[in-house]
Amino acid sequence: MRIAVAVASKHGATKEIGHAVVERLRELGHDVSEHDMASTSAEDLDDAQALVLGGAVYFGRWPNEANDLVDGLADRVDGRPVWLFSSGPVAREDEPPSVEEPTIAIDGTMQALDAREHVMFGGRLDKNTLSFVERAVARALRAPDADTRDWTVIREWADKIDSALKAS
Ligand SMILES: Cc1cc2nc3c(=O)[nH]c(=O)nc-3n(C[C@H](O)[C@H](O)[C@H](O)COP(=O)(O)O)c2cc1C
């Protein structure tokens, strides 16, 4: 099946999750295209029979380019199955949450695209890669540098998408 995976990532962690999903779906026999939302329009995804959209969470939201793409897609989804994922929390299990609001306002996106599911994966925080303002926020929140992405869980999620598509 032709699947498009489109990602909004500021510092690469979400992009790497998207790539892992792409690779797993390809292993399972799908024809998968990989997109950066910053340079992707809804029309670019017209060929896909299923969509996987992922965003990094900053202050409880996906980056702006993700919202632009979602707006464009709302009229074009046309019954195609959509799955959503986010990359966010970096708190370690032995520590309190590193960000005050480790949740995301995703309900509007779920409804606009009639998405089947939204999953929250872990994230990566490396203060050396952040902008001045982002670094100041991360320091103020005492967020530790960490990478809590679980590649097994991510690949299993791709397996679940494959199963759902093969069952439909
Ligand atoms: C300034 C700042 C704000 C953040 N806000 C949130 C948030 O509200 N919720 C959350 O779960 N993670 C938050 N994070 C963690 C990021 O979502 C996480 O590091 C993510 O993996 C980054 O993805 P990217 O490398 O693709 O940009 C924040 C990180 C920074 C630096």
Q: Give the CATH number for residue 44.
A: 3.40.50.360
Instruction: Evaluate whether residue 42 is within a structural domain.
Output: yes
> CA 2 → CA 5, 24, 34, 82, 125, distances in Å?
10, 14, 11, 13, 32
- Using the mean position of ligand 1's atoms as its centre, give its distance from the Cα of residue 142 in Å: 13
Tell me what the mean pLDDT of segment 114-119 comes to.
Answer: 96
- Mutational pocket test of ligand 1: of 15, 125, 137, 148, the residue with most ligand atoms within 8 Å of the beta carbon: 125
Kindly tell me if the per-residue pLDDT of 83 is higher than 70: yes
Locate the DSSP E strands across 9-97. Answer: 31-36, 50-56, 82-87
Ligand 1: centre distance to CA 115 (Å): 22
Question: Does residue 18 have a pLDDT over 80?
Answer: yes
- Let me know if residue 125 belongs to a domain: yes
Residue 168 covered by a domain: no
Q: Does a structural domain hold residue 20? A: yes
Instruction: Let me know if residue 55 belongs to a domain.
Output: yes
Distance 76 CA to ligand 1 centre (A): 29
Residues with CB under 6 A from ligand 1: 9-15, 56-60, 87-90, 99, 101-102, 123-125, 130, 134, 137-138
What is the maximal distance between C-alpha atoms in the chain? 48
| Domain total in the chain | 1
Does residue 127 form part of some domain? yes
Question: Whose C-alpha lies nearest to ligand 1, atom 1?
Answer: 134
Identify the residue whose C-alpha is closest to ligand 1 atom 29: 58
ipTM, two decimals, is 0.99
pTM above 0.90, yes or no: yes
Asked if the structure places residue 165 within a domain, the reply is no
Pocket test for ligand 1, best of 57, 118, 127, 131 (most atoms within 8 A of CB): 57
> Which of 5-14, 47-56, 126-135 is predicted with the least confidence, judged by mean pLDDT?
126-135
pLDDT digits (tens, 9 = 90+) for 40-66: 999 999 999 999 999 999 988 999 999
- Give the domain extent around 9: 2-158
**Ligand 1 atom with the shortest distance to the CA of 17:** 26
Q: What is the pLDDT of residue 102?
A: 47
Ligand 1 centroid from CA 58, angstroms? 5
On whether residue 45 sits in a domain, the answer given is yes
